[in-house]
């Protein structure tokens, strides 16, 4: 069966994209799914978070997009059993310009992923693929939107949050019409939530008004453990298993996977 491919996207910086990719991925793996996370950000925060390694050798997503390596060459195991990673590299910063003139430049990731999935043995093929996008709507994010079946938008509920959301939804719509008819908005997930403020409630009500029915039930609360885990190269489930952060990301994984039919140990 083809895996679910989810682009984790918001062009606003620092809203929880990478934290969500790492910990939703770890939580889904904990619930029995084989997960592949792909770091599409030249900052390589996801790569650091999941491997603890700043100077990784070997091919990265950059080499894959350039066509120098098949995606299978770049896949690495992480500190989390069941969660593998296609790492990023600082080199990726030049990719937007380098690839601008490439034929089919928006489809490079989709094609690389399709090649990987068709070549993988049944028991090793990922069931869930998460694409951690950079904070922009450039060629890298576009590649994610073309490769994905759905978009998950992490959003910090402040009164400015809606400003970027309209633009983001426009781009998703455009990609659906021109490049990827199967693309849908999977959901919006509130991250960095400070549950005590009325501002949070107002911002979330506003999101619900503008994009009805898309705000996921699970709230990712602000939790310092989530901010600490990356520097230890571990997911929140390993770093602080009884923290609110671990609880919230497990809840998010259950909600996102809900209805798929859970494997025995979930
Ligand atoms: N729920 C949370 N509680 C506390 N800190 C958090 C939470 N979520 C994310 N953070 C911290 O906030 C910062 C931004 O989060 P993150 O890197 O996930 O955002 P991002 O959207 O991927 O950023 P960028 O746009 O730069 O890629 C990080 O330092 C992260 O550790
Ligand atoms: Mg990030």
Name residues whose C-beta falls within 8 Å of residue 200's C-beta, 6 or more positions apart in sequence.
157, 190, 193, 194
Which residues face 219 on adjacent strands? 190
Sheet holding 184-193, edge to edge: 76-77, 83-86, 35-39, 128-132, 4-8, 150-155, 184-193, 215-221
Q: How far is the CA of 20 from the centre of ligand 1 (A)?
A: 8
Q: In the structure, which protein residues have their CB atom closer than 6 angstroms to any atom of ligand 1? A: 13-19, 41, 45, 135, 191-192, 220, 222-223, 226-227, 230
Radius of gyration for the alpha carbons in the chain, expressed in angstroms and rounded: 17
> What is the reported pLDDT for 103?
86
224, with CB counted inside 10 A (0-12, 13-18, 19+), is exposed
Q: Per-residue DSSP letters for 30-72?
A: HTT--EEEEE--TT-HHHHHHH--SS--S--HHHHHTTSS-HH
Q: What CATH architecture applies to the domain 4-257? A: 3-Layer(aba) Sandwich (3.40)
Tell which atom from ligand 1 comes closest to the C-alpha of 21. Answer: 18
CA-nearest of 75, 67, 84, 73 to 22 is 84
> What 8-state DSSP symbol labels residue 2?
P
CA of 24 to the centre of ligand 1 (A): 13
- pLDDT tens sequence for the chain (266 residues): 789 999 999 999 999 999 999 999 999 999 999 999 999 999 999 999 999 876 667 899 999 999 999 999 999 999 899 999 999 998 898 888 899 888 899 999 999 999 999 998 888 899 999 999 999 999 999 999 999 999 999 999 987 888 889 999 999 999 999 999 999 999 999 999 997 788 899 999 999 999 999 999 999 999 999 999 999 999 999 999 999 999 999 999 999 999 675 554 44
Residue 52: what pLDDT? 83
The domain limits of the chain are 4-257
Of all protein residues, the one whose alpha carbon is nearest to atom 10 of ligand 1 is: 227
């Amino acid at each position: 069966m083809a895996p679910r491919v989810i682009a984790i996207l918001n062009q606003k910086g620092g809203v929880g994209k990478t934290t969500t990719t790492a910990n939703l991925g770890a939580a889904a793996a904990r619930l029995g799914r084989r997960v592949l996370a792909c770091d599409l950000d030249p900052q390589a925060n996801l790569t650091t978070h999941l491997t603890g390694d700043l100077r990784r050798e070997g091919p990265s997503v950059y080499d894959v997009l350039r066509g120098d390596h098949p995606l299978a060459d770049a896949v690495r195991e992480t500190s989390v059993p069941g969660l593998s990673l296609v790492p990023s590299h600082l080199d990726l910063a030049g990719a937007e310009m380098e690839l601008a003139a490439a034929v089919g430049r928006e489809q490079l990731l989709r094609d690389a992923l399709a090649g990987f999935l068709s070549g993988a043995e049944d028991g090793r093929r990922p069931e869930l693929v998460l694409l951690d996008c950079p904070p922009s709507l450039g060629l890298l994010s576009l590649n994610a939107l073309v490769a994905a079946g759905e978009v998950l938008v992490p959003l910090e509920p402040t009164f400015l949050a809606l400003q970027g959301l309209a633009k983001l939804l426009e781009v998703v719509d455009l990609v659906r019409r021109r490049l990827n008819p199967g693309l849908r908005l999977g959901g919006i997930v509130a991250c960095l939530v400070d549950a005590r403020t009325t501002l949070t409630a107002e911002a979330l009500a506003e999101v619900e008004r503008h994009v009805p029915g898309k705000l996921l039930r699970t709230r990712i609360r602000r939790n310092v453990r989530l901010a600490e885990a990356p520097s230890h190269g571990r997911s929140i489930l390993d770093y602080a298993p009884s923290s609110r952060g671990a609880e919230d990301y497990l809840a998010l994984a259950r909600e996102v996977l809900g209805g798929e039919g859970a494997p025995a140990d979930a």
